[in-house]
């Protein structure tokens, strides 16, 4: 109740109104000092921090322990590259009509999108400071790399291009849902009802989806690209703090 949130507001999906988002972000930022105290009191010390890109305050925690900090974002490399290009070219600042399509600059293929279709980055009133910090954090300049819930075979070109764009290592270690044996947890994640995917796909798209799903299963198994990337990530982080 310290920031004006009712009990049961553990994530944004559980908020009763968008008016509570600022309070929620304020509350999350207050976790910085308790987390530092918790990590100080426990052994062994952390070797790195992986945090959601919205949790910009974790850079202070990483600096406190002199450890690497990696960003995690739920988007894939293609979406992250598009967002980066739009931010880099300050496209949003030039848009008058949020429903007017514009071309994302710097891509091999032409991609049109509107401002209304882009992630909002908490654009509601009172969020200016948080929004600026989040956008700066998403540009990855203050991090040591980005962890992405995707896999190389799905978006090979865009993983490489996103890595080149931000100048930091991108670790593709997904799809993480296939590494989680708790299917109840997967089904409940986000606290939202799922839809029957088969009803939304044509025969050709179902075939393509099955092919991608098979590649996804292989990539998280031993010898797969995501398995190897995760193994390498652990080795690199351990070596940096040895």
Q: What is the pLDDT of residues 139-175, one digit of tens each?
A: 667 789 999 999 988 888 999 999 999 999 999 988 8
Residue 49 in domain: yes
Does one domain contain both 36 and 110? no
Do residue 25 and residue 97 come from a single domain?
Answer: no
Do 111 and 136 fall into the same domain?
Answer: no
Per-residue pLDDT reduced to its tens digit, 174-207? 887 665 555 444 444 455 544 455 555 577 777 7
Q: Stretch 7-30: mean pLDDT, rounded?
A: 85
Cβ 56 vs Cβ 137: under 8 Å: yes
Does 103 share its domain with 136? no
**Do residues 66 and 114 share a domain?**
no
Backbone φ, ψ for residue 73 (5° rounding) = -135, 140
pLDDT in tens, 55-109: 999 999 999 999 999 999 888 999 999 989 998 998 888 888 989 999 999 998 8
| Residue-range definition of the domain harbouring residue 60 | 12-75+124-240
**89 and 136, same structural domain?**
no
The pTM of the full predicted model, rounded to 2 decimals, is 0.79
Same domain, yes or no: 62 and 159: yes
- Into how many domains does the chain fold? 2
89 and 164 share one domain: no
CA dist., res. 25 & res. 28, Å (int): 5
Is 158 in the same domain as 190?
A: yes
Query: Among 90, 93, 87, which Cα is nearest to 73's?
Result: 87
Last residue of a domain, one of 118, 140, 172: 118
Residue 16: pLDDT over 90: no
Element spanning 78, H or E: helix 77-88
Reported as a single tens digit per residue, the pLDDT across 211-223 is: 877 878 888 888 7
């Amino acid at each position: 109740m310290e920031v004006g949130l009712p009990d049961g507001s553990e994530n944004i999906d559980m908020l009763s109104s968008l008016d509570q988002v600022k309070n929620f972000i304020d509350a999350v930022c207050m976790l910085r000092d308790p987390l530092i105290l918790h990590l100080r009191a426990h052994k062994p010390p952390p070797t790195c921090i992986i945090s959601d890109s919205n949790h910009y305050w974790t850079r202070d925690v990483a600096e406190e322990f002199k450890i690497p900090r990696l960003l995690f974002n739920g988007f894939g490399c293609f979406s992250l590259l598009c967002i980066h290009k739009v931010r880099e070219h300050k496209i949003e600042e030039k848009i008058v009509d949020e429903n007017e399509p514009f071309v994302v600059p710097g891509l091999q293929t032409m991609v049109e999108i509107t401002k209304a279709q882009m992630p909002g980055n908490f654009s509601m009133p009172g969020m200016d400071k948080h929004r600026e910090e989040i956008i700066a954090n998403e540009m990855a300049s203050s991090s040591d790399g980005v962890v992405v819930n995707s896999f190389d075979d799905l978006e090979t070109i865009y993983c490489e291009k996103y890595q080149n764009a931000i100048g930091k290592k991108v670790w593709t270690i997904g799809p993480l849902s296939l590494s989680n044996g708790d299917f109840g947890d997967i089904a409940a994640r986000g606290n939202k009802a799922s839809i029957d995917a088969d009803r939304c796909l044509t025969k050709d798209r179902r075939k393509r989806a099955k092919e991608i799903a098979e590649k996804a299963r292989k990539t998280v198994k031993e010898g797969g690209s995501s398995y190897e990337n995760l193994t390498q990530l652990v080795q690199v982080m351990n070596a940096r703090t040895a």
